[in-house]
Structure 1
């Protein structure tokens, strides 16, 4: 049984390489397939919406232009002036035959009526009226009145057979006689022709409205120019290709059959086989008023060209990523398995120097089928059991050691300050300053009551300043009105815990060294919060500290070791005591500096991190 269990364990290199690398490759593959499917669906929907939008826009634009042509023809057909003038003096011969009789009828009235009919609507390229006695009156590109032969017109027989219904010709070139726009003769035109009668129902002539294809299909031309990969075709009611208009309509006959062969419905996009059996996405629409058909399609390759570019980029990036993952997993697996046993041996020698979570009394045994990790977990578990009992003892001993050091440094302050006060009281007694002695005694009592009232090494900043106030009261008895004391404390730091009696040596130093000049003397203490630290500034107007003295003093402080207080005499600490206590409590986060570049002023700056409740309870 044990042999079977051992066979299930395998090398970390194999585990990382096949499990992690294989998993990452699988996830990348799934990600690629999903993203590719979503992207392909979005491209299809965009192409479908585009062809549908093209069909709708083209239908609206072309139908609008055809309506304008139809309106011009209608205005002419129902113009009383034109019908009466054209029907005047018509020959009784066969319709369309050339009359040998010279007929004088009011051509000027017809010409004026044509201009009026065309100006009511945006102008067509040309509007002509043909009479049955072979006369033509036209306005537009060619303003003329001439003799014509109706039988020579390509539309004559068809328009005649429709008996007044609209007939649209296929795109063709038209030569305009007496035209000043010769450059437009190369353009293609579509013509609308209608037979019209006089008031009694007698056939009297034809109206011909000619429109330039560039104007008729202006929107289609713009869409085609902006989307060169999109094919656009428009067919009239006879299935003739009217767009593109610059080629032979016979070349596009197969495109009209696409609509019929695929049973296409208006505005329903379908995949169809176009010319040369190319698969394309096509959409079809009908201009109902004229029974014209619109066909818009784009081949599959053009639609999915962005997808092809995306696939090339993504596959290339994915291939490179897979190679990097494989190489990285292999390198990491080799790197991890090499030092596993060394890490296991090293953990047995680790000593806990930080506080462990008291709620976590036991570490759970981790079962792993990887040999190296299994051995490492066993070593860590045994190490934890060995260090669990000793960790609290180590922390407690270090805490007691720090407390002892702080108590020793604090005790060095009291005799020195008491000595100065007693000396001062002796001098006052000789001068019989009884009231001042009483005030001094009261202040001293309050001061020493503050020292002996608690064993805590830290107190709220506000309490420390009350103690300083007592000290200042003692000094004001000596200096009187020559001494001014300013205290500026921010509410944000009043309850912040700071080392007890940390300010007294600095204030005492100001009286001892800073106020050697003539009065008045000013002592200012400011306390405030800066980021996550408390900061206290003690400033005097003595200005007696030179740059050399400042650097020498700070250098001496920095070279002081934390156990230096064992070799110091009582009363000999002063500023060094303050510096040492700050270092003992806050380590590298302690702030102790001197600023003397202000004229006539010296400023001592103390600071440290604002401790949480948990941190405060350590000492």
Structure 2
């Protein structure tokens, strides 16, 4: 059934032009635009609140950073007090004491100094000095070092020694250098130097029990779930409200992201209610203070606001979607039908006739499309018929051009042999010539049995071998199974000609032409191979150019102004009769030879 016989559907809306239809559709889509604009506004508002909250968190963390920095600076001031104290300097220097009593006096003075500091600072667990001269003094008059702990291998000892007089803050650790004492502390250590500031004399150690740092961090309020934590330069946690859970593996923290973040940077993890905003501040001694706030706590009425907005948007969207579906169906149906018909035309179906509904712009376009397809179909049929007839005529003309010149050259050879009294050669050559031209001028169809084509090329080779007596030899290797199939008339002769005139004629020694024929699945394959001079790539490209271009001229007509049957024209002739999958392939190597492969289908 033709599309033109279908009864056109009644339009949902009696609109006379596509312009009015589109205008009405745009009016309906305004509602959708409003909803989308509202959602965008809501999103921008939420983002603005989150940015403000992030800025607020950054300011809080900066203040925490400042407080902790001041606290550490106070600890460093204590180390400066030890460094400038003359008793401490004398005690850890290389000076020898007059007596044990004198040494105890110095130890008592230093211990009293450290005890006075501890009395004012409850957050300090202990103060100790370890001289490189193996002298040791702490805030306690009687102190027993742990015999199982090697002070020189402690991380805080090594770090201070490597820092060369700069203060070093350690990660939280259990301090076990005092016998029977195991405290969870952070150590501030520093190398003490001589008065000239050059010679290192010992290590000063202050153990902090983290109470001040814990109190500073606990006082920070970042919502009901927000918190502050601290990591050192190695990524170890100095303080965290859930520190025990993290150490036991029951909770985790974004330590890698924190280490990668620069000071003053912020980043976000998670989505929805699990969204967390991290704000990172670095200290000058390697720690990073991190504030964590939860996204769902940044806007107090976020849930109420979102529910109200989406409730109103839901009804608006429902109405807009219903209208959009109806309108898009009404507007796009004729366009889709026309598109479908155009795709069929793309595939080569020129019998299609598109449906014409209302006589608006689309209806007029469909009517024009139908007229255009009909005209294209007629023009294509005429063009195909004209081109096919033209090509067959050109090929037939090209084929006939060879006959007079070949006859002239062959008769000239027969005359020469007759003058030389070579009667048998004259008879053989004349007989071959007669058979050759009987086949050429026969009124048989274009397709002939392969055995006829092989007989034709055999006669042609007999003539050429007699003409080029000591220069040409040939061999035929044709599978008997292919003789019953059909081939184009005079298919092989142009390739044998080219093998002789372009490959063997100018060769100093005898050349060999081998003609093979065999079947390969559903194809017949011929090969014309010579061991002549071969060709360069440029000459091979010229050989494949069509007649009328710069292709090689037929050697039989060279000098007479004529053109032979170009190899590319034979290739076109094969494709014209059998289709694109068939044709010729040429491979050639200079000074080695040329092989032409001709592929045709099996035709009974």
Shorter-chain TM-score range: 0.3 to 0.5
**TM-score, normalising length: structure 2:** 0.39
Largest Rg, 1 or 2: 1
